[in-house]
Chains A and B, each alone.
Chain A
């Protein structure tokens, strides 16, 4: 029973990692940009939610609804005015600029919020759990997982069913021809990063309510997101969810054996996938 319990915890943790990863995956898919500040932006969003919660005494879910459009704005501005300037054949400028950005955000948060660990209180939800025939699961982890599934369904709908989604895919295929369709690639990229930041807000909500976080928590989140994307295979959002689940299960199983091995087991699962399936488990799966 305890093993099944561990497994379930792992799967649900995978939902959180998929939320970390979905934004990264979206941005990479559309503009081949890897944002090394992605994790720090998640932490930034968590602090933003915390700030709204503590200033206005709002429920964290409501606070996230307020934070999401603000994060969209931040993402839009960041992409339009900073990151678009770095796009091109050379992969060095975007990597180094986002690496610099990661340092700027981390230290900005340290100045603004000190190095103390914080947590967003979700009230009674934090301890609530439901029982499935002897196995209990926390309500928050379940809600997290459901949110991840919802986000991926919504993203797929957007990408495959709307005019904006067509513009995303067209721009990803061929920027010059897309511009002949009246698509403004720079604006499309800005919208994509804005959307990614809205997903980041959802991820931040659950990051902040289920565990402590501090300004330096970003890089580890980037790494989990990255591992989920690579395990799942580039180009498939459902693959990213599967990657998140594998990573989550590996971590909880590792932690069950020895608490010090939690993170290490996740990394090892990632390296094993890289060893046997270098293109990930579900490369370009049917979405």
Chain B
């Protein structure tokens, strides 16, 4: 049985620069995987490739065994793959509720996620539903961004740098919601710079450096020093 998502020697460009060099990752049903790596390791480019923002060769990305590398973002969403983009990217002209509603624009399917259940997940959003999305705090905006992606009831949720720029206590709140999301059966890919957070929530971890996968495995099986080496590059951090 084919994996939910599989990349095969994926190469991708960030603008004119090649940012991903031959990456193979795999995501199985119900699984949560984490992609960790420093700034510029190619993590976001990898996410944007899967989500269809960056076009690739068809066979480089497989969804249930079917090539989707060349599909555009609207078609990828329709297959049940939703991205929470880095930097949240809420629509400033839309209210909180409208931002959530627009998340279901391309894929309207019966599923666990409706406006009501998202308000159940993040109650604060219900109070602020009529506010312009950009009037919210960073943490609340991140909740809107997650809720917006969930509105399409995705089988696969891609989360790019959720904790970027947020206070630790807020990051904890946001990750607390993840158990509920996982309970619906969705498979999740999280991209993180925060190694501890990633190891805590993920079933498996991939570490990227300079556009390549440098390490992968289950959190329990991974050695701290190996992760550091894979994350920062071996020669500079053998001291740790």
Provide the residues of chain A in CB contact with B148, threshold 8 Å: 181
A-binding segment of B35-43, B96-104, B114-122? B96-104
Provide the residues of chain B in CB contact with A64, threshold 8 Å: none
A177: interface (CB < 8 Å): yes
Provide the residues of chain A in CB contact with B102, threshold 8 Å: 163, 166-167, 170, 178, 181, 183
Q: How far, in angstroms, from A163 to B106 measured CA to CA in the complex?
A: 11
Given A166-B94, A181-B102, A182-B78, 19 more A-B residue pairs with CB atoms under 8 Å apart are A163-B101, A167-B102, A169-B98, A170-B102, A170-B105, A172-B93, A174-B89, A176-B53, A176-B89, A177-B89, A178-B102, A179-B72, A179-B74, A180-B73, A180-B82, A181-B105, A182-B107, A183-B74, A183-B102
A184: interface (CB < 8 Å): yes
B interface, CB within 8 angstroms of A:
51-53, 72-74, 77-78, 82-83, 85, 89, 91-94, 98, 101-103, 105-107, 148, 152
Known interface pairs A169-B93, A182-B77; A177-B106 also in contact (CB < 8 Å): no
Q: How far, in angstroms, from A184 to B106 measured CA to CA in the complex?
A: 9
Rounded to whole Å, the gap between the CB of B102 and the closest CB of chain A is: 5
Provide the residues of chain B in CB contact with A5, threshold 8 Å: none
Rounded to whole Å, the gap between the CB of B40 and the closest CB of chain A is: 20
Provide the residues of chain A in CB contact with B53, threshold 8 Å: 176, 179-180
Provide the residues of chain A in CB contact with B106, threshold 8 Å: 181-183
29 contacts between A and B (CB under 8 A): A163-B102, A166-B102, A169-B91, A170-B91, A170-B93, A170-B94, A172-B93, A173-B92, A173-B93, A174-B89, A176-B89, A178-B91, A178-B102, A179-B73, A180-B53, A180-B73, A180-B77, A180-B82, A180-B83, A180-B85, A180-B89, A181-B105, A181-B106, A181-B148, A182-B73, A182-B105, A182-B107, A183-B106, A184-B72
Q: Which of B72, B85, B106 has the most CB of A within 10 A?
A: B106
Q: How far, in angstroms, from A184 to B52 measured CA to CA in the complex?
A: 12
Provide the residues of chain A in CB contact with B103, threshold 8 Å: 181
- Chain A residues 151 to 180 lying within 8 A of chain B, measured CB to CB, are 163, 166-167, 169-170, 172-174, 176-180
Q: Which of A166, A170, A177, A182 has the most CB of B within 10 A?
A: A182
Provide the residues of chain B in CB contact with A181, threshold 8 Å: 77, 102-103, 105-106, 148, 152
Q: How far, in angstroms, from A41 to B82 measured CA to CA in the complex?
A: 40
Closest to A169 in B: B93
5 closest A-B pairs by CB = A182-B106, A179-B73, A182-B77, A169-B93, A177-B89
Q: Which of A170, A172, A183 has the most CB of B within 10 A?
A: A170
Provide the residues of chain A in CB contact with B73, threshold 8 Å: 176, 179-180, 182
